[in-house]
Amino acid sequence: MTTLITPTNESSSGPWGVKRLQAKFRDFGIVFGLLAIVLGLSVSTTTFLTPGNLINLVDQATVVGLLAVGATLCIISGVFDLSATATLAVSAITGIWISQTFGFAAGFIGAIVAGVLLGTITGLIIVSTKINSFIGTLAISIIYRGLAIVLTAGAIVSPPAEIAESFRFFAERGPFGLTWASILFGVTVVVLGLMLSQTTYGRRIYAVGGNAEAARLSGIRTGAVRVGVFAISGACSALAGLVLISRAGSAQPGMATGLELTAIAAVVIGGTSIMGGQGAVWRAFVGVMILTVIANGFNLLQWDTTYQQVVTGALILIAIAADSLFFKKRNS
């Protein structure tokens, strides 16, 4: 009788053990990178680990983090959303405009509805025209910025004085000294992370990003899935806009310009594949925290912030190169 030896019987130093180690490094290497940066700053400064600085770190990461969470779902599904911050601006302006007539609650809800609606429109345009999402959403962002200028006549808009304090809610402190904006960010990460990893819709997002044609042939409505992730990205953008209103007390057409690229950079640095089909919301959180901690480290160490862009660019390049290498190995 022939005895069959399964791969699980091999030692951890064998080929299957090496593959498991590679998989673990692929999954959690970015976390070790963040911990290494944190450890380095903890040793080299006396203020990094103070409660005040740690709370401020999370608060500083909130706006980019909310955008990155939405960008993660889009990228996993195989599309990009460069209209996110333009959606943010229009949503924030819409929220203030509605609040001037109907009050804070209506303005708050109106901003989120506007974000979802704009995201849905973006998704429908990209899916129906079948144009490249990178170029398509770039063009749409210009349209939305123009809409923001039309709505405000190019001016800064503010909520009425009697409800201005209500809009500052996200800037106020909540449990453990965290701002409500930070708590909102954490809840969004958990909710959308569970949605992506534990629901049928989440599995469809992975399937569409991994192989859209195979997903279509298996009965998945790929267009609907992608429109959905654009809508979720729009909601995240609207929430980020409300956070910015709470900090500045106003909104304007040019708010958050360029932050969509920072959010995508955080997603890539976190390890989500730009090829689609692989990634996680928690990775976006780690990527955002890496960028935030690096910026904080430059300030604490009083280094020339000019070099911060060099470091960030190098991290993005390394992340993309690693992703390309893993992609080639998977398909070889």
Spatial separation of the C-alpha atoms in residues 27 and 21, rounded to whole Å: 10
Q: 171 lies in a domain?
A: yes
317 within 8 A of 325, measured Cβ to Cβ:
no
Alpha helices per DSSP H over 45-103 = 51-76, 84-102
Q: What is the pTM of this model?
A: 0.89
Q: 287 lies in a domain?
A: no
Contacts of 17 (CB under 8 A, 6+ apart): 10, 11
In this model, does residue 285 exceed pLDDT 50?
yes
In this model, does residue 262 exceed pLDDT 70?
yes
Angle between helices 222-248 and 180-198 (to 10 degrees): 170
Handedness of CA 81, 82, 88, 94 (dihedral sign): negative
Query: pLDDT-based confidence at 120, cuts 50/70/90?
Result: very high
Q: 135 lies in a domain?
A: yes
Q: 158 lies in a domain?
A: yes
Summarised one tens digit per residue, pLDDT across range 206-241 is 999 999 999 999 999 999 999 999 999 999 999 999
Counted domains in the chain: 1
Q: 163 lies in a domain?
A: yes
Residue type at 206?
Y
Which region holds residue 43: left if phi is over 0, alpha if psi is between -120 and 50, else beta? Answer: alpha
Residue 323's pLDDT is 66
Q: Is 79 helix (H, G, I), strand (E, B) or coil?
A: coil
Q: 133 lies in a domain?
A: yes
Summarised one tens digit per residue, pLDDT across range 131-169 is 999 999 999 999 999 999 999 999 999 998 888 889 999
Spatial separation of the C-alpha atoms in residues 157 and 148, rounded to whole Å: 11
- Domain that includes residue 96, residue range: 69-256
